[in-house]
């Protein structure tokens, strides 16, 4: 949505813990880059209606209207009766595919170089279906729900995404050797969708084997878009983050049919909240993904380049999670000086 000044208004959920600090960094950098974005803060304090957790109506309406939002990390209070706010958000806006790219940062060295992976995580069901019950004391049944509908939808997204970014292979990561019916359905859904994409090769791998090969030689996965059920995607994407330097660096997009919400992969990091220590890179790169999605590539390129240059500019300019000495604010002003 464009306002009278020609700026695009975008809802922002600043989030908990380090959320306000890293959101402030994004806003400052966008301002300095003259990005044509006007942020609209929205409140996600939930209430319970008919036993279901819901967000304020204004927030839901605003995000539906804009079709896009930027989100900081949300904490879920530990204890009975609290449903994850992240899950509620994914369900409210039907955000069925979570796209997580991981690329080595030139000039910031880790044990691995040449990492360039794209992982797409099924975002609505699997082990996160929330169906758990006690059968008897000491015996719990926890249901992993797999449907053809959600599996086909996320696989189709993966094939389309591969086409979009010019990759020739889609890799389904699964454990159908053990979960023959559940993961089996995910695999057969991918096979069904693959028929619509004759130019893209469908490949398969067992999740344990992917973990092994990923830490031996991540560059092998450059040719693929990986797609997998929910929990595997959660774990594999943290593994990929670790290869390039950690959670502070990895962006993501939660993609739905109508709405897409971009967010950092990491959580609210309560241990360092309010200490001017958080690394805003993950949220920044998520906002760069958002700019590309909004068809504003020139601003995306400009901000991304300044962020990557800052990360490569030495210990004094990067945050503690990257073994640097800079505060959040120092890192932010270094990015701005490179715009
Ligand atoms: P949540 O319950 O919200 O997921 P968490 O306790 O699991 O929070 P995470 O945010 O997932 O914490 O982070 C795990 C570790 O990584 C923490 O020690 C945290 O400080 C660190 N960390 C995560 N994100 C960042 C960041 N952006 N900058 C610096 N350190 C981070
Ligand atoms: Mg966490």
* Model confidence pLDDT, tens digit, residues 174-197: 999 999 999 999 999 999 999 999
Instruction: Evaluate the CA torsion angle 205, 211, 212, 216 in order and state its sign.
Output: positive
Q: What pLDDT does residue 79 have? A: 62
Check residue 229 and give its pLDDT: 98
Q: Ligand nearest 282 Cα, by number?
A: 1
Please report which ligand is nearest the Cα atom of 281: 1
The three-state secondary structure class of 114 is coil
Q: Encode 194-223: b = buried (16+ Cβ within 10 Å), e = exposed.
A: beebeebebeebebeebbeebeeebeebee
pLDDT for the residue 80: 57
Closest ligand 1 atom to the C-alpha of 267? 10
Rounded Cα–Cα distance for residues 119 and 139 (Å)? 34
SS3 state at 267: coil
Query: From atom 19 of ligand 1, which residue's Cα is the shortest distance away?
Result: 269
Q: What is the pLDDT of residues 205-237, one digit of tens each?
A: 999 999 999 999 999 999 999 999 999 999 999
The lowest-confidence range among 2-6, 54-58, 185-189 is 2-6
Specify the pLDDT at position 96: 97
Pocket test residue of 72, 249, 266, 285 for ligand 1, highest count of atoms within 8 A of CB: 266
Considering only CA atoms, give the Rg of the chain.
Answer: 20
Q: Flag whether the ipTM exceeds 0.95.
A: no
Rounded to whole angstroms, the Cα distance separating 286 from 39 reads: 15
Distance, CA of 132 to CA of 144 (rounded, Å): 9
Q: Which atom of ligand 1 is nearest to the CA of 278?
A: 28
> What is the C-alpha separation between 245 and 111, in angstroms, rounded?
9
For residue 283, which atom of ligand 1 is closest to its CA? 27
Question: What confidence score (pLDDT) does residue 227 get?
Answer: 98
Q: Which of the four pLDDT bands, split at 50, 70 and 90, describes residue 4?
A: confident
Going by pLDDT thresholds of 50, 70 and 90, the confidence category of residue 130 is: confident
Residues with CB under 5 A from ligand 2 (ion): 267
Q: Identify the pLDDT of residue 129.
A: 86
Strands (E), 196-333: 201-206, 224-228, 251-256, 260-264
Rounded average pLDDT over 159-174: 97
The tokens of 144 are what?
């992993």
Share of residues in the chain with pLDDT > 90 (%): 90
What residues form DSSP beta bridges with 171?
203, 226
d(CA 162, CA 226): 9
The chain-wide mean pLDDT, for the chain, equals 95
Ligand 1 pocket test, candidate residues 83, 269, 274, 331, most atoms within 8 A of CB: 269
**Cα 242 to chain center, whole Å?**
15
Please give the pLDDT value at position 243: 97
Given the DSSP bridges, would you call strands 68-71 and 8-13 parallel, antiparallel or unpaired? parallel
Rounded CA-CA distance 90/336 in Å is 32
Predicted pLDDT of residue 3:
86
How does residue 51 score in pLDDT terms, banded at 50, 70 and 90? confident
Rounding to the nearest 10 degrees, give the CA dihedral for residues 245, 248, 250, 252: 170
pLDDT at 158: 98
Please report how the helices 297-311 and 328-337 are oriented relative to each other, as an axis angle in degrees rounded to 10: 120
Q: How many helices (H) and strands (E) does the chain have?
A: 10, 14
pLDDT in tens, 59-91: 999 999 999 999 999 997 776 566 788 888 998
pLDDT at 283: 98
Q: Is the pLDDT of residue 115 over 60?
A: yes
């Amino acid at each position: 949505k464009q306002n009278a000044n020609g700026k695009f208004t975008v809802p922002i959920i600043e989030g908990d813990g380090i959320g306000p600090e890293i959101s402030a960094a994004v806003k400052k950098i966008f301002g300095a880059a003259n990005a044509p974005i006007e942020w609209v803060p929205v409140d996600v304090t939930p209430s319970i209606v008919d036993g279901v957790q819901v967000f304020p109506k204004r927030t839901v309406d605003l995000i539906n209207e804009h079709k896009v939002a930027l989100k900081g990390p949300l904490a879920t209070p530990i204890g009975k009766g609290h449903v994850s706010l992240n899950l509620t958000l994914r369900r409210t806006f039907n955000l069925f595919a979570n796209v997580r790219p991981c690329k080595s940062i030139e000039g910031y060295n880790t044990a691995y170089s040449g990492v360039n992976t794209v992982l797409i995580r099924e975002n609505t069901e699997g082990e996160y279906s929330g169906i758990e019950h006690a059968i008897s004391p000491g015996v719990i049944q926890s249901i992993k729900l797999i449907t053809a509908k959600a599996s086909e939808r996320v696989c189709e997204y993966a094939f389309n995404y591969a086409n979009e970014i010019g990759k020739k292979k889609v890799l389904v990561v699964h454990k159908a050797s053990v979960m023959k019916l559940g993961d089996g359905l995910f695999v057969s859904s991918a096979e069904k969708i693959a028929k619509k994409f004759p130019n893209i090769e469908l490949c398969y791998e067992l999740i344990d084997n992917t973990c092994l090969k990923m830490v031996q030689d991540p560059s092998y996965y450059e040719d693929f878009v990986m797609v997998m059920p929910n929990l595997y995607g959660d774990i594999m994407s943290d593994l990929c983050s670790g290869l390039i330097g950690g959670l502070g660096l990895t962006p993501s997009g939660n993609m739905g049919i109508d709405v897409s919400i971009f967010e950092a992969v990491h959580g609210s990091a309560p241990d360092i909240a309010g200490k001017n220590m958080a690394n805003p890179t993950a949220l920044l790169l998520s906002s760069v993904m958002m700019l590309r999605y909004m068809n504003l590539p020139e601003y995306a390129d400009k901000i991304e380049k300044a962020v990557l240059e800052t990360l490569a500019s030495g210990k004094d300019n990067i945050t503690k999670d990257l073994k640097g000495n800079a505060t959040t604010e120092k890192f932010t002003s270094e990015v701005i000086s490179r715009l």
